[in-house]
């Protein structure tokens, strides 16, 4: 079986991401030996999290979204929070990046409000997903089957509800990455 230590993972976010939903995957994936980069919209050198109803820590940005080459990465992680995915779903480069990962059959993991990006990327029609409860109608209107579970994996798309589900989210993400490394492009249509 392939090792997560061989993985190259991209986290896409902008100011206002739920801090734990970026920080915990970043630390655990790096702790497992993976190479993890953060990308953000043009001009961002660092992005600021949202933690405990206030601005949180700042994280350095490795590259701009428009500069990402999906061939350099095995998976995409989309942290939630309300502000972050709402801003990113209005960014054409961000939406195109999600579409590219989906089209290339690479795992895409979205937590909390981040499934808004999956809707914009037309990536959830016919899929089973979960999210923060307030997104249920949005996801169902886009053709998804919404379920209330800690984590849902459907054909390489991993979704979770909230920070309380981070352990299940990261476990499912790592399993999908290991499968992708062992069998690249297994999810391509």
pTM of the model: 0.95
Q: How confident is the model at residue 183 (pLDDT cuts 50, 70, 90)?
A: confident
For residue 5, the model assigns a pLDDT of: 84
pLDDT at 2 over 60: no
- CATH code 3.40.50.880 for 4-179: yes
**Known active-site residue 37:** no
pLDDT at 51 over 60: yes
pLDDT at 105 over 60: yes
- Judged on CB neighbours under 10 Å (0-12, 13-18, 19+), 5 is exposed
Q: What residues contact residue 99 under an 8 Å CB cut-off, 6+ apart?
A: 121, 122, 123
Q: How confident is the model at residue 187 (pLDDT cuts 50, 70, 90)?
A: low
pLDDT at 141 over 80: yes
pLDDT at 40 over 70: yes
Mean pLDDT of the 169-174 span: 96
Which tokens in the block code for residue 127?
Answer: 């899929």
- The mean-pLDDT minimum among 18-22, 96-100, 142-146, 173-177 falls in 173-177
For residue 180, the model assigns a pLDDT of: 80
User: Could you tell me the residue ranges of all domains in the chain?
Assistant: 4-179
pLDDT over 70, % of the chain: 96
Active-site entry in 48, 89, 106, 113: 113
């Amino acid at each position: 079986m392939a090792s997560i230590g061989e993985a190259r993972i991209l986290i896409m976010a902008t100011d206002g991401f739920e801090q734990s939903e970026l920080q915990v995957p970043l630390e655990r994936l790096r702790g497992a030996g993976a190479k993890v980069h953060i990308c953000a919209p043009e001009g961002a050198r660092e992005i600021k999290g949202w933690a405990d109803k206030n601005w949180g820590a700042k994280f350095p940005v490795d590259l701009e979204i428009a500069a990402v080459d999906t061939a350099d990465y095995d998976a995409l992680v989309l942290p939630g929070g309300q502000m972050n995915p709402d801003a990113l779903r209005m960014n054409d480069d961000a939406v195109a990046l999600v579409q590219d990962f989906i089209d290339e059959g690479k795992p895409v993991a979205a937590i909390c409000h981040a499934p808004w990006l999956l809707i914009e990327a037309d990536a959830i029609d016919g899929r089973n997903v979960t999210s923060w409860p307030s997104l249920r109608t949005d996801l169902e209107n886009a053709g998804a089957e919404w379920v209330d579970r800690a984590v849902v994996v459907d054909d390489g798309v991993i979704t979770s509800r909230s920070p309380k589900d981070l352990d299940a989210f990261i476990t499912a993400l790592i399993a999908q990455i290991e499968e992708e490394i062992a069998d690249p492009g297994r999810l391509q249509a």
